[in-house]
């Protein structure tokens, strides 16, 4: 089965967890895209929920599909969030931020009671780190911040957009992609990165996911 079908299978399964009256966090990326589509379909069939998005991209998509949107001022907690990931281990430690949405994704995840990650089997790894860790930094002095990240032992580069300019996140920050090689101690590295002045947040999501739904190439679904 091709990757798109696998993304659809994982997303369809995740949407089954959503019940009437819930506040639902909408992830970002090509897998979360399908979850948003399936949620819209269930809303058309009568499901009553309110949603909060992790990016302007997902917010616009959801609104275009008629999904009712809310915001943090009007809610206390988020019942379920469904999001993708760039890598996951079997014990549900993640790298996210390939789509530059990691900061809003982590804020939404931290406010969520039940955080569901959806991936195809290619994203499941033994150790995190083949995918470079996206790190959101403030633009001011980003070169100095990047050097500090490099001093932790990474090869670093500021992320560019398709036009070759420095990519700006939804929060008007930059993304540094940091290659640490395979990571032995993700929690420790997460702390070390976030201690650097100028770093806003990084793409290691440690002990955040409640379940990871994996779609396998043969069409079976596994819940980690
Ligand atoms: O910033 C983007 C997010 O963390 C995405 O959830 C992640 O990059 C996975 O995206 P995709 O489902 O497109 O592979």
Residues 157-198: pLDDT tens digits?
999 999 999 999 999 999 999 999 999 999 999 999 999 999
Does pLDDT of 62 surpass 90? yes
Phi, psi of 143 (to 5 degrees): -65, -40
- Mean local confidence (pLDDT), 61-67: 98
- Measured from the CB, is residue 59 less than 6 Å from ligand 1? no
As a whole number of angstroms, the distance between CA 91 and CA 34 comes to 24
Are the beta carbons of 50 and 70 closer than 8 angstroms? Answer: yes
**Percent of the chain residues past pLDDT 70, beyond the cut:** 100
ipTM of the complex: 0.97
Residues written for the chain: 224
Is 105 among the catalytic positions? yes
Cα distance from N-terminal residue to C-terminal residue, the chain: 21
Q: Does the annotation list 123 as a binding residue?
A: yes
CA 152, 150, 178, 53 dihedral sign is positive
Catalytic entry in 105, 121, 136, 222: 105
DSSP states of 55-72 as a string? SHHHHHHHHHTT--B--G
As a whole number of angstroms, the distance between CA 13 and CA 202 comes to 28
As a whole number of angstroms, the distance between CA 48 and CA 165 comes to 41
- CATH number, span 3-124+207-223: 3.40.50.1360
Residues 89-140: pLDDT tens digits?
999 999 999 999 999 999 999 999 999 999 999 999 999 999 999 999 999 9
* pLDDT in the model for residue 1: 83
* pLDDT in the model for residue 91: 97
Helix (H, G, I), strand (E, B) or coil at 178: strand
For ligand 1, atom 8, the nearest C-alpha belongs to 98
Ligand 1 atom nearest residue 134's Cα = 1
Query: Spelled out in words, what is the top-level CATH class assigned to the domain 133-201?
Result: alpha beta
Which residue in 170, 20, 48, 33 sits closest to 101, CA to CA? 170
As a whole number of angstroms, the distance between CA 213 and CA 17 comes to 11
pTM: 0.95
3-state helix, strand, coil in the chain (%, to 5): 30, 25, 40
As a whole number of angstroms, the distance between CA 161 and CA 122 comes to 25
As a whole number of angstroms, the distance between CA 83 and CA 126 comes to 20
Map out the domains of the chain as residue ranges. Answer: 3-124+207-223, 133-201
84 C-alpha vs ligand 1 centroid, how far in Å? 5
Q: Compute, in degrees rounded to 10, the torsion defined by CA atoms 136, 138, 143, 146.
A: -30
- Mean local confidence (pLDDT), 49-64: 98
* pLDDT in the model for residue 153: 96
Q: Is 66 left (phi over 0), alpha (psi -120 to 50) or beta?
A: left
């Amino acid at each position: 089965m091709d990757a798109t079908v696998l993304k659809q299978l994982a997303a369809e399964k995740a949407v089954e967890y959503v019940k009437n009256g819930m506040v639902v966090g909408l992830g970002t990326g090509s897998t979360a895209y399908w979850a948003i589509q399936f949620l819209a379909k269930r809303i058309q069939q009568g499901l009553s929920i309110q949603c909060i998005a992790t990016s302007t991209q997902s917010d616009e998509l959801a609104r275009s599909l008629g999904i009712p949107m809310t915001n943090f001022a009007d809610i206390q907690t988020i019942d379920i969030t469904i999001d993708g990931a760039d890598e996951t281990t079997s014990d549900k430690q993640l790298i996210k931020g390939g789509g530059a949405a990691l900061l809003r994704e982590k804020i939404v995840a931290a406010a969520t009671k039940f955080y569901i990650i959806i991936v195809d089997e290619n994203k499941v790894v033994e150790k995190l780190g083949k995918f470079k860790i996206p790190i959101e930094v403030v633009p001011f002095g980003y070169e100095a911040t990047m050097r500090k990240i490099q001093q932790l032992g990474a090869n670093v580069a500021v992320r560019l957009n398709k036009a070759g300019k420095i990519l700006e996140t939804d929060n008007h920050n930059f993304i540094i992609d940091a290659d640490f090689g395979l990571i032995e101690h993700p929690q420790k590295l997460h702390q070390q990165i976030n201690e650097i002045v100028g770093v806003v947040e990084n793409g290691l999501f440690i002990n955040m996911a409640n379940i990871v739904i994996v779609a396998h190439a043969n069409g079976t679904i596994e819940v980690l």
